[in-house]
Structure 1
Amino acid sequence: MKQAGSILVVDDNPDILVAVQLLLKQHYQTVVTTDNPFDIAKTLSEQQIEVILLDMNFNHDAISGQEGFYWLKKILAQDPSVVVVLMTAYGDIKLAVDAIKAGAADFIAKPWINEQLLGVIAAAFSHAKDKQQVGKLTRQTQGLNLALSGHKFDFLGQSSAMQQVFTTIEKAAKTDANILLTGESGTGKELAAHAIHLASNRSSQAFISVDMGAIAQNLFESELFGHKKGAFTDAKADRVGRFELAHGGSLFLDELGNLPISQQTTLLAALQNRQITPVGGTKTLAVDIRLICATNEHLPQAVLENRFRQDLLYRINTVEIRLPPLRERVDDIPLLAKYYLDHFSHKYKRQLSIAVEDMRSLCHYHWPGNVRELAHAIERAVILSDGDVLDIGSVVGQGATPVIGKNNVVKPSKLLTTRADNDDYHSFNLEKLEHSTVRSALKHHQGNVSQAAKALGLTRGAMYRRLEKYGL
């Protein structure tokens, strides 16, 4: 019975091709032959070839084997999954060793013994299946990373505060030390975790992210450790847990401070033993992961309040990295604003810029939601803005607090700030204040739009958008 498999034989001797084809066709379903090595690329592009039996010399009296090495290199460059066996009438040990080093799976001398050739070809097909399986697993890992991670923004910063963060990440990433990322919500802890993974020795493996606060208590072990079919009512098939998916790579546990004490105990046991047991299973699985955790909780305080295990805290924070809030890295706001503007302008097919005075306003805003708020605000503004200049009035959400001067005159460049002296600090609805301010400026300048816009620190385009917005 013929085995499934396709082989290409390349030799300039017609008698060799006939002899090989008669022999191999008895054992394999597809045997393709050619006397011209320039046909190889076309054949590989048109057919699924698993093994190539390649002559090493094609010119008359050629004995160096260099032609075979040349075509071997071309084949592997076009399709690395193909297994190549080289053959020559002038075989010796050195040539065989050089062929293996160059990427050949094996080497055979002519004339051959049929049983020997069949053994070499059988081994080549076995090797081909192994290479195909490795390629499949690599694609699965890449697909898994894409599915679980999705699009990630770049982890950016030029301020001194962020340079310190980058320096610490660079030092810690190259080790397998457990890392705890702390900081307010929206400061970029998941982006930092990705940066650590990409800078580590595990960067080619999976990065698996788990939001610990979003896992239902009754599904905690199933999510992390997996389960066997029939382990519980809805377990209709085996499931691989996040620990196993992250094997060889990095496991990111976000919002770890939200984890109940009972689940902390289970997690600690898995981290200490580096072993897991799927729910409903009996065999333990060894796991090799790089652990990265993140929280906006003050965990030492949670330990004092008996809300977080002290031994778990010791386990996860070999290195602690604090991500500064955006108000502590104001120098980064122009960089981040331009980055997100470019990204969302491309996404929504817009061409927008930020006026200088509006960028100044962005830098004066407090950004309680940090980088996440800035990104969402820029995206919203890109969608809502008319014309070719970003409408900053639609960027900052309702409730932002303006600065009112001593004579109750709005300072335009401070319109969006929340950082001010307490004597001048009052709470107003931003949209109502803007409406009133634009109307008053227009009245003061007797309807002259250009002068009113200049007084408010706005471009004419921005002024006209506000006139339309408020029906003035």
Structure 2
Amino acid sequence: MGQATGKILVVDDDPAICIVVGEALRRQGHKVKTAASIRERTALMSDFAPDVLITDVMLPDGDGLEGVADLIAQDPAMNVIILSAQNTLNTAVRATEKGAFEYLPKPFDLNELTRAVADAITIRQQSDGDEERDSLGASNDGMPLVGRSPAMQEVYRTIARVISNDLSILVLGESGTGKELVAQAIHGLGRRRAKPFVAINMAAIPRELIEAELFGYERGAFTGAHTRTAGKFEQAEGGTLFLDEIGDMPMEAQTRLLRVLQSGEVTTVGGSTPVKVNVRIIAATNQQLPALIAENRFREDLYYRLNVVPISLPALRERGEDVALLARHFLDIAANEGLPRKTLADDAAGLLGGYHWPGNVRELQNLMQRMAVLSRENVITGEIVRQNLSLDSIAGAHASASADNLAASMREWLRSQLGVGQTPRETLHDDMLAIVEPVLLRETLRSVDGNQIRAASLLGINRNTLRKKLTDYGLNPANIRQGE
């Protein structure tokens, strides 16, 4: 059966985008019209009812998102794909709130766009036209997450897709990457935002007290229990409970937590009457839970209960283009909190971008606060950064050593191909890629336990590109795991 085709309206004030996207979609058999403004969009839609509307956000005569909800209300089966160079969580969330089918940050992958169109057409043709689309109201401009790197775009898109439901979320990432900020964003943008957000850190509570903290306790349940005290589940009633460092939860508490998740009821320590609770669970960890399961330190059934939607936060060293943006953001926060207002020089931004940030975003924030207080200058220069961060001794040591080894190996291979008596081939570039790229793909996948989304983010390529390369090289992600 051939690919489904339909009518597409592309709205973008960049003629090149209209031409390229239009031609790509026409080659797939779609009927395509283009517009450069909201006014042109309105005029065209009066006699051209598209199956899919592709629109930019920033248009010459206004916000491309404005009016989208009304258009969907008029034709509930029409799917909208949003394109935007404003690659922030706010844009992703607004697109979702307006009822968009997909949000793609610019620069976008043309293959991903054409695939999204194909999916939208299929859904359009299967739809009976009476799907309910839920609007969450006004968007929140005070987003807690900052960054425009491809890895963060993936995080934003996932957040935008889960704020309208109550699925359990498992946030993964190294310490200091902002896992609690993700939980706060999901809660603050979701339908439970008017109710409490309660956080508990498993690693910060004595093991013998975790059950009492989570589930509450009755008077006399243990020494010092003078009154009945509600646990975190009851405190978060109607809202969100954030279980940080879930990998440090004792096995006994895991068993009780699983029971609560299955029954929706909490029994206090020392109590016998269950209490109904209604909370959304967001858990987080910097540990490899599958490894803990293999060591009998984490329940597999609890893992699957929590890991309904995983969100993997990249380490700061994997999103170098975000470092300067974050640094200036933290300087603004420091100034708003009463610290001296400072600006960041370009040479300082370059040095910060080259550092490997073992403490991730938290380390960067602490550094910016320190320099805001201690620096006597209004502008933080590269020299000031060097004085506060041992860039020469730390930043390049490991990278330069490994880079030198790789360069030496490549030079040796090239000498063998171009040496005396050798007939130079005209496929050196492809030959080198065929040697290096499979290793790069395999080791990157292994480092993230076979997770293709994380691997694509680390490599800075589209997921479809990664899948194609894996197929071309005969690599099976299912067989690539850490340590294999």
TM-score (norm 2): 0.51
Answering whether residue 368 of structure 2 is matched by residue 378 of structure 1, we say yes
> In structure 2, what is the equivalent of residue 201 of structure 1?
191
After TM superposition, list the pairs within 5 Å mapping 1:317-356 onto structure 2: 317-356=307-346
Q: 2:181 aligns with which of 191, 194, 204?
A: 191
Paired with 2:321 and 2:168, the residues of 1 have a C-alpha distance of 30
State the Cα deviation string for residues 344-388 of structure 1 (Å, max 9, x = none): 133244121111111110111111111011001111111111121
SS at match of 1:281: coil
After superposition, the Cα gap between the structure-2 partners of 1:201 and 1:346, relative to the gap in structure 1 and judged at 3 Å, is closer
**1:273 Cα offset (Å):** 1.2
Paired with 1:171 and 1:185, the residues of 2 have a C-alpha distance of 25
Paired with 1:179 and 1:376, the residues of 2 have a C-alpha distance of 28
> In structure 2, what is the equivalent of residue 435 of structure 1?
none
Given that 1:361 and 1:417 are in contact with CA atoms closer than 8 Å, whether structure 2 keeps it comes out as no
When the two chains are superposed, the root-mean-square deviation of aligned CA atoms in Å is 2.2
Q: Which runs of 5+ in 1 are unaligned?
A: 1-151, 404-414, 426-472
Paired with 1:377 and 1:371, the residues of 2 have a C-alpha distance of 10
After TM superposition, list the pairs within 5 Å mapping 1:132-147 onto structure 2: none
After superposition, the Cα gap between the structure-2 partners of 1:273 and 1:418, relative to the gap in structure 1 and judged at 3 Å, is farther
The residue identity in structure 1 corresponding to 2:347 is E
Q: 1:422 aligns with which of 378, 393, 401?
A: 401
> In structure 2, what is the equivalent of residue 301 of structure 1?
291
State the Cα deviation string for residues 397-443 of structure 1 (Å, max 9, x = none): 9884527xxxxxxxxxxx95456421788xxxxxxxxxxxxxxxxxx
- More displaced 10-residue stretch of structure 1: 391-400 or 346-355: 391-400
> In structure 1, what is the equivalent of residue 379 of structure 2?
389
The residue identity in structure 1 corresponding to 2:336 is H
Answering whether residue 353 of structure 2 is matched by residue 363 of structure 1, we say yes
The residue identity in structure 2 corresponding to 1:188 is G
After superposition, the Cα gap between the structure-2 partners of 1:287 and 1:362, relative to the gap in structure 1 and judged at 3 Å, is same
Paired with 1:174 and 1:154, the residues of 2 have a C-alpha distance of 18
**1:390 Cα offset (Å):** 2.1
After TM superposition, list the pairs within 5 Å mapping 1:197-276 onto structure 2: 197-276=187-266
SS at match of 1:222: helix
After superposition, the Cα gap between the structure-2 partners of 1:377 and 1:398, relative to the gap in structure 1 and judged at 3 Å, is closer
The residue identity in structure 2 corresponding to 1:276 is V
After superposition, the Cα gap between the structure-2 partners of 1:379 and 1:417, relative to the gap in structure 1 and judged at 3 Å, is farther
The residue identity in structure 2 corresponding to 1:213 is A
> In structure 2, what is the equivalent of residue 283 of structure 1?
273
The residue identity in structure 2 corresponding to 1:244 is E
> In structure 1, what is the equivalent of residue 151 of structure 2?
161
Equivalent residue pairs, number: 263
State the Cα deviation string for residues 3-27 of structure 1 (Å, max 9, x = none): xxxxxxxxxxxxxxxxxxxxxxxxx
Given that 2:238 and 2:279 are in contact with CA atoms closer than 8 Å, whether structure 1 keeps it comes out as yes
State the Cα deviation string for residues 113-141 of structure 1 (Å, max 9, x = none): xxxxxxxxxxxxxxxxxxxxxxxxxxxxx
SS at match of 2:155: helix
Paired with 1:186 and 1:250, the residues of 2 have a C-alpha distance of 21
After superposition, the Cα gap between the structure-2 partners of 1:365 and 1:313, relative to the gap in structure 1 and judged at 3 Å, is same
**1:217 Cα offset (Å):** 1.9
State the Cα deviation string for residues 174-231 of structure 1 (Å, max 9, x = none): 1111000001111110000001111211111110000011121221221011112222
After superposition, the Cα gap between the structure-2 partners of 1:417 and 1:353, relative to the gap in structure 1 and judged at 3 Å, is farther
**1:270 Cα offset (Å):** 1.4
**1:291 Cα offset (Å):** 0.4
Paired with 2:197 and 2:363, the residues of 1 have a C-alpha distance of 25
**1:341 Cα offset (Å):** 0.7
Identity of matched residues, %: 43
**1:328 Cα offset (Å):** 1.1
Between structure 1 and structure 2, the one with the greater Rg is: 1
Paired with 1:402 and 1:295, the residues of 2 have a C-alpha distance of 32
> In structure 2, what is the equivalent of residue 20 of structure 1?
none
The residue identity in structure 2 corresponding to 1:173 is I
The residue identity in structure 2 corresponding to 1:313 is Y
After superposition, the Cα gap between the structure-2 partners of 1:424 and 1:304, relative to the gap in structure 1 and judged at 3 Å, is closer
Given that 1:377 and 1:396 are in contact with CA atoms closer than 8 Å, whether structure 2 keeps it comes out as no
> In structure 2, what is the equivalent of residue 72 of structure 1?
none
Paired with 1:216 and 1:281, the residues of 2 have a C-alpha distance of 21
SS at match of 2:283: strand
Given that 2:351 and 2:385 are in contact with CA atoms closer than 8 Å, whether structure 1 keeps it comes out as no
Given that 1:185 and 1:296 are in contact with CA atoms closer than 8 Å, whether structure 2 keeps it comes out as yes
Paired with 2:398 and 2:347, the residues of 1 have a C-alpha distance of 17
The residue identity in structure 2 corresponding to 1:189 is K
The residue identity in structure 1 corresponding to 2:264 is R
**1:394 Cα offset (Å):** 5.8
SS at match of 2:392: coil
Given that 1:385 and 1:391 are in contact with CA atoms closer than 8 Å, whether structure 2 keeps it comes out as no
Paired with 1:189 and 1:286, the residues of 2 have a C-alpha distance of 28
SS at match of 1:191: helix
Given that 1:179 and 1:318 are in contact with CA atoms closer than 8 Å, whether structure 2 keeps it comes out as yes
State the Cα deviation string for residues 233-254 of structure 1 (Å, max 9, x = none): 1011221110001111100000
> Where in structure 1 do 4 or more consecutive aligned residues deviate above 3 Å?
391-401, 415-420
Given that 2:348 and 2:385 are in contact with CA atoms closer than 8 Å, whether structure 1 keeps it comes out as no
